[in-house]
Structure 1
Amino acid sequence: MKTWIALLLVLSLPFAAMAQEEKKEGEGAEVDKVAYYSLVPALVGNFGAGPKLKFFKADIALQVKGADAEKIVEHHDPLIRNQLVMLFSQQTEETMNGQDGKEKLRQEALKQVQDVLNQEEGKPVVDDLLFNNLIIQ
Protein backbone atom coordinates (compact mmCIF):
# COMPACT_ATOMS: atom_id res chain seq x y z
CA MET A 1 0.00 0.00 0.00
CA LYS A 2 2.80 2.41 0.89
CA THR A 3 4.45 1.61 -2.43
CA TRP A 4 1.33 2.67 -4.33
CA ILE A 5 1.11 5.96 -2.46
CA ALA A 6 4.78 6.67 -3.08
CA LEU A 7 4.37 5.79 -6.76
CA LEU A 8 1.35 8.12 -7.09
CA LEU A 9 3.21 10.98 -5.43
CA VAL A 10 6.22 10.55 -7.71
CA LEU A 11 4.03 10.42 -10.81
CA SER A 12 2.05 13.54 -9.82
CA LEU A 13 5.09 15.80 -9.35
CA PRO A 14 5.55 16.58 -13.08
CA PHE A 15 1.89 17.59 -13.34
CA ALA A 16 2.22 19.99 -10.40
CA ALA A 17 5.27 21.60 -12.04
CA MET A 18 3.38 21.98 -15.32
CA ALA A 19 0.46 23.60 -13.51
CA GLN A 20 2.83 26.15 -11.93
CA GLU A 21 4.33 26.99 -15.35
CA GLU A 22 0.87 27.45 -16.87
CA LYS A 23 -0.09 29.76 -14.02
CA LYS A 24 3.00 31.91 -14.62
CA GLU A 25 2.23 32.09 -18.36
CA GLY A 26 -1.36 33.06 -17.55
CA GLU A 27 -0.14 35.89 -15.31
CA GLY A 28 1.92 37.29 -18.17
CA ALA A 29 -1.08 37.11 -20.48
CA GLU A 30 -3.12 39.13 -17.97
CA VAL A 31 -0.68 42.04 -18.34
CA ASP A 32 -1.04 42.05 -22.13
CA LYS A 33 -4.83 41.65 -22.09
CA VAL A 34 -6.57 44.05 -24.46
CA ALA A 35 -8.97 46.49 -22.80
CA TYR A 36 -11.15 49.30 -24.09
CA TYR A 37 -11.39 52.56 -22.17
CA SER A 38 -14.53 54.52 -23.10
CA LEU A 39 -14.48 58.29 -22.89
CA VAL A 40 -17.67 58.88 -20.93
CA PRO A 41 -19.61 61.08 -21.32
CA ALA A 42 -19.46 61.39 -25.10
CA LEU A 43 -17.60 64.33 -26.60
CA VAL A 44 -20.03 67.02 -27.77
CA GLY A 45 -19.19 70.31 -29.46
CA ASN A 46 -19.54 72.46 -32.53
CA PHE A 47 -17.36 72.59 -35.64
CA GLY A 48 -16.98 74.33 -38.97
CA ALA A 49 -17.26 77.94 -39.99
CA GLY A 50 -20.19 79.89 -41.33
CA PRO A 51 -23.47 81.32 -40.20
CA LYS A 52 -25.05 77.98 -39.26
CA LEU A 53 -23.61 76.07 -36.30
CA LYS A 54 -22.79 72.41 -36.83
CA PHE A 55 -22.57 69.98 -33.94
CA PHE A 56 -20.85 66.66 -33.32
CA LYS A 57 -21.28 63.93 -30.76
CA ALA A 58 -18.56 61.29 -30.59
CA ASP A 59 -18.59 58.14 -28.47
CA ILE A 60 -14.95 57.07 -28.41
CA ALA A 61 -13.18 54.01 -27.03
CA LEU A 62 -9.41 53.72 -26.66
CA GLN A 63 -7.76 50.31 -27.04
CA VAL A 64 -4.96 49.60 -24.55
CA LYS A 65 -3.05 46.56 -23.36
CA GLY A 66 -3.02 45.80 -19.67
CA ALA A 67 -4.44 47.28 -16.50
CA ASP A 68 -1.50 49.66 -16.08
CA ALA A 69 -2.12 51.24 -19.48
CA GLU A 70 -5.81 51.58 -18.66
CA LYS A 71 -4.96 53.40 -15.41
CA ILE A 72 -2.60 55.75 -17.28
CA VAL A 73 -5.33 56.60 -19.80
CA GLU A 74 -7.85 57.12 -17.00
CA HIS A 75 -5.43 59.47 -15.23
CA HIS A 76 -4.93 61.56 -18.39
CA ASP A 77 -8.63 61.47 -19.41
CA PRO A 78 -9.13 65.27 -19.12
CA LEU A 79 -6.08 66.01 -21.28
CA ILE A 80 -7.13 63.43 -23.90
CA ARG A 81 -10.67 64.81 -24.01
CA ASN A 82 -9.38 68.36 -24.45
CA GLN A 83 -7.10 67.31 -27.31
CA LEU A 84 -9.93 65.49 -29.08
CA VAL A 85 -12.46 68.31 -28.65
CA MET A 86 -9.93 70.76 -30.12
CA LEU A 87 -9.31 68.43 -33.07
CA PHE A 88 -13.02 67.95 -33.77
CA SER A 89 -13.77 71.67 -33.52
CA GLN A 90 -11.20 72.38 -36.26
CA GLN A 91 -12.92 70.10 -38.76
CA THR A 92 -15.06 71.16 -41.70
CA GLU A 93 -18.23 69.54 -42.96
CA GLU A 94 -16.25 67.97 -45.81
CA THR A 95 -13.76 66.29 -43.46
CA MET A 96 -16.54 64.98 -41.19
CA ASN A 97 -18.72 63.50 -43.95
CA GLY A 98 -18.10 60.25 -45.75
CA GLN A 99 -16.28 57.09 -44.82
CA ASP A 100 -12.86 58.34 -45.98
CA GLY A 101 -13.17 61.57 -44.03
CA LYS A 102 -14.17 59.76 -40.85
CA GLU A 103 -11.31 57.29 -41.21
CA LYS A 104 -8.79 60.12 -41.67
CA LEU A 105 -10.27 61.86 -38.63
CA ARG A 106 -10.01 58.63 -36.61
CA GLN A 107 -6.36 58.19 -37.57
CA GLU A 108 -5.56 61.83 -36.75
CA ALA A 109 -7.37 61.51 -33.41
CA LEU A 110 -5.33 58.39 -32.59
CA LYS A 111 -2.12 60.20 -33.52
CA GLN A 112 -3.03 63.18 -31.32
CA VAL A 113 -3.88 60.95 -28.33
CA GLN A 114 -0.63 59.00 -28.75
CA ASP A 115 1.37 62.24 -29.04
CA VAL A 116 -0.15 63.63 -25.84
CA LEU A 117 0.51 60.43 -23.91
CA ASN A 118 4.02 60.24 -25.34
CA GLN A 119 4.72 63.73 -23.98
CA GLU A 120 3.23 62.93 -20.57
CA GLU A 121 4.31 59.30 -20.06
CA GLY A 122 7.17 58.75 -22.52
CA LYS A 123 5.20 56.09 -24.42
CA PRO A 124 2.06 56.17 -26.60
CA VAL A 125 0.08 53.69 -24.36
CA VAL A 126 -3.00 53.66 -26.69
CA ASP A 127 -2.96 51.11 -29.52
CA ASP A 128 -6.10 52.16 -31.35
CA LEU A 129 -9.01 54.60 -31.24
CA LEU A 130 -12.53 53.53 -32.16
CA PHE A 131 -15.63 55.56 -32.91
CA ASN A 132 -18.49 53.70 -31.25
CA ASN A 133 -20.78 56.40 -32.57
CA LEU A 134 -20.16 59.62 -34.49
CA ILE A 135 -23.12 61.92 -35.08
CA ILE A 136 -22.86 65.10 -37.13
CA GLN A 137 -25.70 67.60 -37.31
Structure 2
Amino acid sequence: MRLRSIVFALACVWAMNVSAQSITEYANYVELKSFVTNFGEVQRGPLRFVKAEITLQIAPNGSRHDVDAHMAHIRNDLNFLLNEQMEEDLASVEAQAVLAQKALRVVQDILIAETGSAQVDDLFFTSLVIQ
Protein backbone atom coordinates (compact mmCIF):
# COMPACT_ATOMS: atom_id res chain seq x y z
CA MET A 1 0.00 0.00 0.00
CA ARG A 2 2.79 2.38 0.91
CA LEU A 3 4.65 1.57 -2.31
CA ARG A 4 1.53 2.48 -4.32
CA SER A 5 1.33 5.84 -2.55
CA ILE A 6 4.96 6.60 -3.33
CA VAL A 7 4.57 5.61 -6.99
CA PHE A 8 1.40 7.71 -7.26
CA ALA A 9 3.13 10.72 -5.68
CA LEU A 10 6.10 10.41 -8.05
CA ALA A 11 3.75 10.14 -11.04
CA CYS A 12 1.95 13.31 -9.95
CA VAL A 13 5.23 15.21 -9.57
CA TRP A 14 6.41 14.00 -12.98
CA ALA A 15 3.11 15.04 -14.61
CA MET A 16 3.28 18.51 -13.05
CA ASN A 17 6.86 18.93 -14.29
CA VAL A 18 5.92 17.88 -17.85
CA SER A 19 2.92 20.25 -17.99
CA ALA A 20 5.00 23.16 -16.61
CA GLN A 21 7.61 22.47 -19.26
CA SER A 22 4.92 22.42 -21.98
CA ILE A 23 3.61 25.80 -20.86
CA THR A 24 7.03 27.46 -21.07
CA GLU A 25 7.60 26.05 -24.58
CA TYR A 26 4.20 27.25 -25.85
CA ALA A 27 4.45 29.79 -28.65
CA ASN A 28 1.95 32.61 -28.39
CA TYR A 29 0.85 34.18 -31.68
CA VAL A 30 -1.08 37.38 -32.40
CA GLU A 31 -2.81 37.67 -35.76
CA LEU A 32 -3.15 41.22 -37.03
CA LYS A 33 -6.10 42.34 -39.13
CA SER A 34 -5.33 42.42 -42.86
CA PHE A 35 -3.47 45.38 -44.30
CA VAL A 36 -4.49 46.71 -47.71
CA THR A 37 -2.53 49.68 -49.00
CA ASN A 38 -1.18 51.12 -52.20
CA PHE A 39 2.56 51.10 -52.81
CA GLY A 40 5.14 52.34 -55.27
CA GLU A 41 5.28 55.62 -57.13
CA VAL A 42 2.10 56.80 -58.81
CA GLN A 43 4.18 58.47 -61.56
CA ARG A 44 5.65 55.10 -62.61
CA GLY A 45 2.36 53.68 -63.82
CA PRO A 46 -0.95 52.40 -62.52
CA LEU A 47 -1.60 52.34 -58.81
CA ARG A 48 -0.46 49.07 -57.20
CA PHE A 49 -1.86 47.45 -54.07
CA VAL A 50 -0.57 45.02 -51.49
CA LYS A 51 -2.67 42.97 -49.11
CA ALA A 52 -0.71 41.54 -46.19
CA GLU A 53 -1.81 39.28 -43.38
CA ILE A 54 0.73 39.37 -40.56
CA THR A 55 1.16 37.20 -37.47
CA LEU A 56 3.47 38.11 -34.58
CA GLN A 57 5.18 35.53 -32.40
CA ILE A 58 5.28 36.78 -28.80
CA ALA A 59 8.55 36.17 -26.94
CA PRO A 60 8.45 33.74 -23.99
CA ASN A 61 8.98 36.68 -21.64
CA GLY A 62 6.70 38.92 -23.71
CA SER A 63 3.16 39.97 -23.00
CA ARG A 64 0.27 39.66 -25.42
CA HIS A 65 -1.43 42.39 -23.38
CA ASP A 66 1.44 44.83 -24.09
CA VAL A 67 1.28 44.04 -27.81
CA ASP A 68 -2.51 44.52 -27.85
CA ALA A 69 -2.20 47.77 -25.88
CA HIS A 70 0.01 49.29 -28.59
CA MET A 71 -1.72 47.70 -31.59
CA ALA A 72 -2.85 51.01 -33.12
CA HIS A 73 0.73 52.30 -33.16
CA ILE A 74 2.03 48.99 -34.55
CA ARG A 75 -0.59 48.89 -37.32
CA ASN A 76 0.06 52.54 -38.22
CA ASP A 77 3.81 52.08 -38.64
CA LEU A 78 3.45 48.76 -40.50
CA ASN A 79 0.98 50.42 -42.86
CA PHE A 80 3.50 53.20 -43.57
CA LEU A 81 6.25 50.61 -44.12
CA LEU A 82 4.15 48.71 -46.66
CA ASN A 83 3.10 51.95 -48.36
CA GLU A 84 6.68 53.11 -48.94
CA GLN A 85 7.76 49.91 -50.71
CA MET A 86 8.64 49.84 -54.40
CA GLU A 87 7.63 47.03 -56.74
CA GLU A 88 11.13 45.53 -56.63
CA ASP A 89 10.91 45.42 -52.80
CA LEU A 90 8.06 42.91 -53.11
CA ALA A 91 8.97 41.09 -56.33
CA SER A 92 10.92 38.10 -55.00
CA VAL A 93 10.82 35.76 -52.03
CA GLU A 94 14.17 37.14 -50.87
CA ALA A 95 12.86 40.71 -51.02
CA GLN A 96 9.78 39.68 -49.05
CA ALA A 97 12.01 38.07 -46.39
CA VAL A 98 13.92 41.36 -46.09
CA LEU A 99 10.61 43.21 -45.76
CA ALA A 100 9.53 40.80 -43.00
CA GLN A 101 12.74 41.59 -41.08
CA LYS A 102 12.15 45.33 -41.52
CA ALA A 103 8.57 44.92 -40.29
CA LEU A 104 9.77 42.92 -37.26
CA ARG A 105 12.24 45.69 -36.43
CA VAL A 106 9.45 48.30 -36.69
CA VAL A 107 7.29 46.33 -34.23
CA GLN A 108 10.19 45.70 -31.84
CA ASP A 109 11.25 49.37 -31.89
CA ILE A 110 7.72 50.47 -30.96
CA LEU A 111 7.48 47.97 -28.12
CA ILE A 112 10.95 48.81 -26.79
CA ALA A 113 10.04 52.51 -26.76
CA GLU A 114 6.68 51.87 -25.09
CA THR A 115 7.42 48.98 -22.71
CA GLY A 116 11.21 48.73 -22.46
CA SER A 117 11.24 45.25 -24.03
CA ALA A 118 10.96 43.95 -27.61
CA GLN A 119 8.15 41.50 -26.63
CA VAL A 120 8.06 39.94 -30.14
CA ASP A 121 10.46 37.27 -31.44
CA ASP A 122 9.30 36.91 -35.02
CA LEU A 123 6.93 38.22 -37.66
CA PHE A 124 5.33 36.14 -40.41
CA PHE A 125 3.54 37.12 -43.60
CA THR A 126 0.80 34.49 -43.57
CA SER A 127 -0.49 35.94 -46.82
CA LEU A 128 1.01 38.53 -49.18
CA VAL A 129 -0.92 39.46 -52.31
CA ILE A 130 0.44 42.03 -54.75
CA GLN A 131 -1.55 43.49 -57.63
TM range (shorter): 0.7 to 0.9
Task: Give the structure with higher Rg (CA).
Answer: 1
Deviation at 1:55, TM superposition (A): 0.9
Matches within 5 A, 1:11-90: 11-20=4-13, 22-24=15-17, 26-27=19-20, 29-40=22-33, 42-51=34-43, 52-65=46-59, 69-90=63-84
Question: Normalising by the residue count of structure 1, what TM-score does the alignment of the two structures yield?
Answer: 0.82
Asked whether 1:130 is paired with 2:124, we answer: yes
Equivalent pairs counted in the alignment come to 129
Aligned to 1:101: 95
* Gaps in structure 2 of 5+ consecutive residues: none
- CA RMSD after TM alignment: 2.1
Segment drifting more, 81-90 vs 71-80? 71-80
Q: Distance in 1 between matches of 2:90 and 2:84?
A: 10
Identity fraction in percent: 34
Secondary structure of the residue aligned to 2:32 is: strand
Instruction: For residues 19-63 of structure 1, give each alpha carbon's deviation from its aligned partner in whole angstroms, at most 9, with x where no partner exists.
Output: 1354155235424410221002x0111111133211111001011
Paired residue type of 2:48 = K
Question: Normalising by the residue count of structure 2, what TM-score does the alignment of the two structures yield?
Answer: 0.85
Deviation at 1:73, TM superposition (A): 1.6
Deviation at 1:96, TM superposition (A): 1.2
